[in-house]
Amino acid sequence: MVLPLIDGFGRVHRDLRISVTDRCNFRCGYCMPAEGLKWLPRDELLTFEEIERVARLLVERHGIDSIRLTGGEPTVRADLGRLVGMLSGLGVDLALTTNGATLSSAAAVLADAGLKRINVSLDSLRADRFVELTLRDELGRVLEGIDAALAAGLDPVKINVVVMRGVNDDELVDFARFGRDRGVVVRFIEFMPLDADEAWTLESVVGVDEIVARVGEVFPLEAIDRTSAPASRFRYLDGGGEIGVVASVTRSFCDSCDRIRLTADGQFRNCLFAVDEFDVRSLLRSGASDDEVAALLERAVAAKWAGHGIGRVEFIRPARSMSQIGG
């Protein structure tokens, strides 16, 4: 019997984000400091079998129907295709978020293993700015990876752009044009207080209204009815596709959030901005039964807050950055 995971505010949780590693092969625009991070020892990471066990419990007992693999950078985890194959057997909508640096060689392998769709994090289309943000001269490889994902039949292919005022907000129209030309969906993401440098300020956020207005001046848009997905969606009036905006800061969607997270080191988080974590790894490695593991997950979801509170005096910044939590 399936018992949905429902928190104290009546939200049903169906979307599981799994971070498979905390390691990255280059720096994203905001989630890892320039000097890098201290990586976890291998034995502190969940094994593929442990990940599959938790995922299976959530799917079979609690109706989870969507799983996204994240990192760090998930493609640096050795033999990732094996994990994709294990999870694809659960019959869920299986997706992955990547920086795209190794996607040109990995896309076909992952698609053959059962991956359905993919998001590529890309914060600039300008070669010099890409180097400045990532500390790597690999924009060409990322663009090749996007083409490889399309060729492998992954659908949809989405581009995640974290918009930062004074950093890359002058590329909004460039990204919109890129999405239209390549046949990919661009999702603009409001800058959130999860940067490893802790430089976030409310003034650095470019909100959804401004993003839509600036893109719409060049490519007119109309809103699409909202679902429980994190992005507000807008279609081009000329039929040239759509964009999305994840407005976590200026237009919080906490009331419809259905996501839960499992970190690479086996900590269960009921919210991206949670300050508490629930130690699944210790349970798994202590010989706990499925019932005991499921009870912990149920208790964690029941403890979920009403909302993150960004911009209010009571907001507490999570101790981990995005690269350590998983997207």
The pLDDT value recorded for residue 31 is 61
Tokens (6 digits) for 46: 């969940």
Would you state the pLDDT for residue 28?
Answer: 62
Which pLDDT score is estimated for 251? Answer: 85
How large is the average pLDDT for residues 96-107? 96
Report whether pLDDT(69) > 90. Answer: yes
Contact 159, 147 (CB under 8 A): no
Residue bearing the bigger pLDDT, 244 or 306: 244
Ranked by mean pLDDT, the top range of 16-30, 120-134, 186-200 is 120-134
Residue 40 is predicted with a pLDDT of 82
Cβ neighbours around 251 below 10 Å, total: 14
Question: Has residue 198 got a pLDDT over 70?
Answer: no
pLDDT of residue 169: 98
Flag whether pLDDT at 205 surpasses 80.
Answer: yes
Mean pLDDT is lowest, of 61-70, 90-99, 310-319, for 310-319
Per the prediction, the chain carries an average pLDDT of 90
Alpha carbon distances (Å) from 304 to 102, 127, 203, 270, 312: 36, 41, 28, 6, 18
pLDDT for 202 equals 83
Q: What are phi and psi of 15, to 5 degrees?
A: -115, 115
pLDDT band at 323 (very low <50, low <70, confident <90, very high): low
What's the domain range around 200? 5-325
Residue 327 pLDDT class (50, 70, 90 cuts): low
Average pLDDT over residues 146-153: 98
Question: pTM of the entire structure?
Answer: 0.92
Which CATH number belongs to the domain containing residue 37 in this structure? 3.20.20.70
Q: What is the pLDDT of residues 3-31, one digit of tens each?
A: 999 999 999 999 999 999 988 877 665 56
The total number of structural domains in the chain stands at: 1
Query: What pLDDT score was predicted for residue 320?
Result: 65
- Which of the listed ranges 126-130, 227-231, 253-257 does the model predict with the highest average pLDDT? 126-130
Residue 226 has pLDDT above 70, yes or no: yes
> Alpha helix locations (H) across the chain?
48-62, 80-88, 103-113, 127-134, 139-151, 172-182, 208-216, 280-285, 290-302, 322-325
pLDDT average, residue stretch 127-137? 93
Alpha-carbon distance 220 to 223, whole Å? Answer: 11
For residues 183-203, give the mean pLDDT: 82
User: Which of 322, 292, 256, 293 is closest to 17 using CA atoms?
Assistant: 322
